[in-house]
A and B are shown apart, each in its own frame.
Chain A
Amino acid sequence: MLLRHTTAAVAEREALTINPAKTCQPIGAMYAALGIHACLPHSHGSQGCCSYHRSTLTRHYKEPVMAGTSSFTEGSSVFGGQANLLQAIANIFSIYDPDVIAVHTTCLSETIGDDLVQIIAKAREEGSIPPGKMVIHTNTPSYAGSHVTGFSSMVKSMVGYFSEPSDTRSQTINIIPGWVEPSDMREIKRLAGLMGADAIVFPDTSDVLDAPQTGKHVFYPKGGVTMPALRRTGESAVTLALGPAASEAAAKALDVKCGVPCETMTLPIGLQATDRFIDAVRQYSGRGVPAIIEEERGRLIDVMTDMGQYLQGKRVALWGDPDQLVALSEFLVDLDMKPVYVVTGTPGKVFERRMEKALQGRVPEAQIRQGATADMFLMHQWIKQEPVDLLIGNTYGKYIARDEDIPFVRHGFPILDRVGHSYFPTVGYAGAIRLLEKFLDVFLDRRDRDDPEERFELVM
């Protein structure tokens, strides 16, 4: 057994997190910053933070992830990191020439109390920031929130630094896609395009973290939201924030700063959440839903009605990020499946309320937990008490899947041992079909493996 020390009996823990269902804020800020065109993320802290974040993102995407670090030493920890950051800004602009440096803090620089606004102002005063270039920042102390809040903070900072108030309103729709894959951002843009909407999607990691092999390393790939587009978000007609945990803070900030009204929605994963997204884009763009999208939806319903027998009643355990978990759970309920155990390390009681709504009163036995000790160890203990038929979550689930011999669909962050997530979306109707395909594959593969010979079926 891989997790041989995990027992079924649950002892409440107050201090020890075991096998967490979250990581720290800065990595989310780094991922969000990669969704700005020609932006170099910068980690203001010890070298290890930057190295760990780059490594994890790289393992997830199998793509270059470039970022700088302030390389704190004991001296900088005592005297503050100003000198290091000033040097870093000057060096990055002269060696790597980005349009934007997006600095995020760490637990170290936050504990010291470095004032990023003042340091950036000093860098500008010293002439280290070339004309037309920007240094932006966000505060991401690792001892608060999670990687999701770090992402959210960096997106909010994009609004704070770039969005410009305007007396006139354009027809443009801002879409904050949340922490989803480059493939998902690409799909959201495609759907908005099909609806005839003029959309600014930010951040946007498509064409950044799924760059083609050309024999050249393009240091700043062609993707990412541009600075002019970010400035124009202030005159848009509306902002759609997909996923409250990752996107709502920025949307509200944009409302406060530029008066752009916003609507926070469930991440468009699964049928109903996609329906609501399409309907919202329809209303704000003032155009009808084109046949091509209705056909995609029809194909999804077709798979649901045709293959439902293999899914109905299956018990599912999920772990990961609040926005994904809520959307996935709603979809699972629509498939007559039962999301019975759901944990996220990302703290916030609102998660429990949102989950309750997503379950639509159909899974009374569901156990939902959030926060520090809502970890994969606890979820595994629940599974040992009463097993599930399917696991959905990041790569760390493979240890439970193997020990307990449970079918496993990888979803979320990080996925360190498979490819596909950066190329094939799970948002939208087409994404939902892909999810269904994955669920069905693991269930039917399992039957092909386990059914006795006399019950082995050719047609399923």
Chain B
Amino acid sequence: MPETDTDNLLNRVEPAPDPETAKESLLKSYPIKVARKRTKHMVVNNPAAAPVIQANARTIPGIITQRGCSYAGCKGVVLGPTRDIVNITHGPIGCGYYSWLTRRNQTRTESDQDHNYIPYCFSTDMQEQEIVFGGEKKLEAAIQEAYDLFHPKAIAVFATCPVGLIGDDIHQVSKRMREKLGINVFAFSCEGYRGVSQSAGHHIANNQLFKHVIGRGTTPVEGKFRINLLGEYNIGGDAFVLEDLFERCGITLVSTFSGNSTVDGFERAHMADLNCVMCHRSINYVADMIEKKYGIPWFKVNFIGANSSAKSLRRIAQYFENEELTARTEQVIAEETAKAAAVQGRIRPRCEGKTAMLFVGGSRAHHYQDLFKEIGMKTVAAGYEFAHRDDYEGRRVLPDIKVDADSRNIEELSVEPDAELYNPRKSADDIAAYKAREFHFNDYDGMMPEMEEGTLSIDDISHHETERLIEMYRPAVFCAGIKEKYAVQKMGVPCKQLHSYDYGGPYAGFQGAMNFYEDIDRMVNARAWAFIDPPWKKRTSPQLTAHYGDQ
């Protein structure tokens, strides 16, 4: 048994280091060239001074990064959660294998007859002869075999690294098969080497959905208050919680990009009257494009945290300016807030004053700070794995972001208002009136302005920096992904996975917030950490005990 609470590694709080010194220490053992690059990705926060951070830049080879690739962002993240598309990976077996069921894309079909291909992995399993002679024929045959076996509504094709190099024209093959089979077949040039991270893959995915899927639906959507939720991926059942909240408020969810989604939902997305953007990084450009083409306004929401969830629901109600909706929404907020407050009240005293670090994703490192705040925990350092400057500093910096060579090869679609379907939901005057009431559209302030002075923002953190940071600050919890998890825990600090939620969750909405408070409480107050040092190595244990021979 641990003798005192100070035996618990978790309670060994180091005095918070001076942030500038901490930053220097992170860079100290780097070669000069590496340090010169990395220093631009590290900022000591000062909301008043609006410092600049470098982001969406190439990762330094050999540095040990958290980042994955474009294919992972496209097939894994964006298209992964859609259940009724047969997703064929065109390439050697690995990419399809590793993205098979590993992102916890939960989905709920309405009946046992509905299509659900999420538990399946489809691959062309490219062999050497296809690398040499081309893989188009095999791809075409694979699409045909998939069609014959399953008769899906749609088939999507994902390129892996060698496909781009050998010049297989996956778009041409898809077009041919679309015409032959009479179903939607479309392809993604998401070779792993494109861009500098998963972010490029999100963009490639979303562009193709915009070009090939959105707007094709013709069956009208019933409902008075119709919205799309953009940038929500239903990890751990988040989407189910949000779907339930919307339903209780009387809001009709036309489609989610792409948690618990269907191709049918995507096709009818243009019938919504509002786009709500959760993860700004992965999808903000789609919101812009939909607005241009169909006239649907968008604003940023955040359903992580009880306060943020209440705020986001209120904004949706305000947008529709309907008394009944407002009343129902306020009632739901009142009920849910009361429940969440009760759990907060129980847990806050157990977590108050503890510290957290978040290094993950393109929005979670920001959103989850709200949840920690609600149980009295302070975020001392945070950063994204693949976000851009606007996600750190806010959209005001968009005009200043230089497009470099790695971003230039990601297609930028030029979008015009649709001749038939363009229908501005709000006039310019309406928008101006909202603005006058401090109700902003097309806006996101980013993570850094909301972080306290003296905290650190670090972009694309390396493993070396992760370990130094933990040694210096000894946070009560470190949030990252599976690759970091056990190294962090070996240092005696619990690590919360915010990609997979450690197979728990949901964490979205009020119910999710309550789950998160409980999980964090369990983690930071777990007994196991106290037993790391055996009793004979404790400072309180005498080093030598002697007995007389006759005793």
Decide if A17 touches B123 in the complex (CB within 8 Å).
Answer: yes
Contact B122 A77 (CB under 8 A): no
- The answer, yes or no, to whether A51 is at the interface (CB within 8 Å) is yes
Give Cα A92 to B62, complex, Å: 5
Let me know if A107 and B61 touch, CB within 8 A.
no
Q: Which residue of B lies closest to A143 (CB)?
A: B92
Residues of chain B within 8 A of A69, CB atoms compared: 59, 61-62, 65
A91 engages B125 (CB within 8 Å): no
Q: Is A324 an interface residue, CB under 8 A from the partner? A: no
Please state if B92 and A90 are interface contacts (CB–CB under 8 Å). no
* Contact B93–A17 (Cβ < 8 Å): yes
Instruction: Determine whether the beta carbon of B197 is less than 8 Å from that of A47.
Output: yes
Given contacts A17-B123, A95-B464, A143-B127, contact A71 B59 (CB under 8 A): yes
Q: How far is the CB of A22 from chain B (nearest CB, A)?
A: 6
| Nearest B residue (CB) for A19 | B121
**Residue B119 interfacial (CB < 8 Å):** yes
Closest to A214 in B: B532
A64 and B480 CA atoms in complex are apart in Å by 13
Which residues of chain B are within 8 angstroms of A215 by Cβ–Cβ distance?
A: 9, 490-492, 532-533
Assess whether A74 is interfacial by the CB under 8 Å rule.
yes
Q: Which of B62, B66, B194, B464 contacts A74 (CB 8 A)?
A: B194
- Do A106 and B161 touch across chains, with their CB atoms under 8 A apart? yes
Give the Cβ gap from B229 to chain A, nearest Cβ, in Å: 26
**Which of A76, A90, A107 has the most chain B CB atoms closer than 10 A to its own CB?**
A107
Which partner residue on chain A sits nearest B66 by CB separation? A51
| Of A3-11, A165-173, A277-285, A442-450, the one with at least 4 CB within 8 A of chain B | A3-11
Q: Is the CB of B483 within 8 A of A47?
A: no
Question: Which A residues are in CB contact (< 8 Å) with B29?
Answer: 94-95
Q: Are B102 and A48 in contact (CB under 8 A)?
A: no
Task: Contact check, A142 vs B93: say whether CB atoms are below 8 A apart.
Answer: yes
A14-B145, A47-B68, A95-B62 as given contacts; A213 in contact with B490, CB under 8 Å: yes
Task: Give the residues in chain A near B50, CB-CB below 8 Å.
Answer: none
Whether A144 touches B120, Cβ cut-off 8 Å, given contacts A45-B161, A48-B192, is no
Q: How far is the CA of A53 from the CA of B95 in the complex (A)?
A: 10
- Tell yes or no: A393 within 8 A of B by CB: no
Q: How far is the CA of A370 from the CA of B194 in the complex (A)?
A: 34
Contact indicator A141/B145 (Cβ below 8 Å)? no
Within 8 Å of chain B (Cβ to Cβ): is A366?
no
The one of A63, A94, A112, A396 in contact with B31, judged by C-beta atoms closer than 8 angstroms, is A94
How far, in angstroms, from A51 to B138 measured CA to CA in the complex? 28
Q: Are B464 and A96 in contact (CB under 8 A)?
A: yes
Are A146 and B93 in contact (CB-based, < 8 A)?
Answer: yes
Contact pattern, B 187-203, Cβ under 8 Å of A = 1, otherwise 0: 00001111111000000
Beta-carbon contacts of B469-510 to A below 8 Å, as 1s and 0s? 000000000000111011111111000000000000000000
**Contact assessment for B62 and A90 in the assembled complex, using a CB-CB cutoff below 8 Å:** yes
Does B60 belong to the interface (CB within 8 Å)?
yes
Among A51, A58, A214, A396, the one with the most B-chain Cβ atoms within 10 Å of its Cβ is A51
**Nearest A residue (CB) for B62:** A88
Known: A24-B93, A213-B490, A215-B9. A111 touches B161 (CB 8 A): yes
Which of A16, A106, A396 has most B Cβ within 10 Å?
Answer: A16
CA of A215 to CA of B49, assembled, Å: 38
Give CA–CA (A142, B488) in the complex, Å.
31
What is the CA–CA distance of A345 and B30 in the complex, to the nearest angstrom?
A: 43
Shortest distance between the CB of B538 and any CB in chain A (Å)? 13
Residues of B438-460 at the interface with A, using a CB-CB cut-off of 8 Å, are none
CB distance from A354 to the nearest CB of B (A): 22
Comparing B146-154, B277-285, B294-302, B542-550, the segment that makes contact with chain A is B146-154
Query: Given contacts A24-B94, A52-B95, A89-B62, are A16 and B124 in contact (CB under 8 A)?
Result: yes
Segment at the A interface, from B69-77, B207-215, B332-340, B517-525? B69-77
A7-B192 Cα distance, complex, nearest whole Å: 34
Chosen A-B contacts, 18 in total, with CB atoms closer than 8 Å, are: A23-B97, A27-B94, A48-B70, A51-B72, A52-B94, A55-B98, A55-B481, A68-B61, A73-B193, A89-B62, A95-B63, A111-B161, A111-B165, A112-B165, A143-B130, A144-B128, A214-B490, A372-B127
A-B pairs, top 8 by smallest CB distance, nearest first, are A48-B69, A24-B94, A88-B62, A46-B192, A142-B92, A15-B141, A52-B98, A91-B62
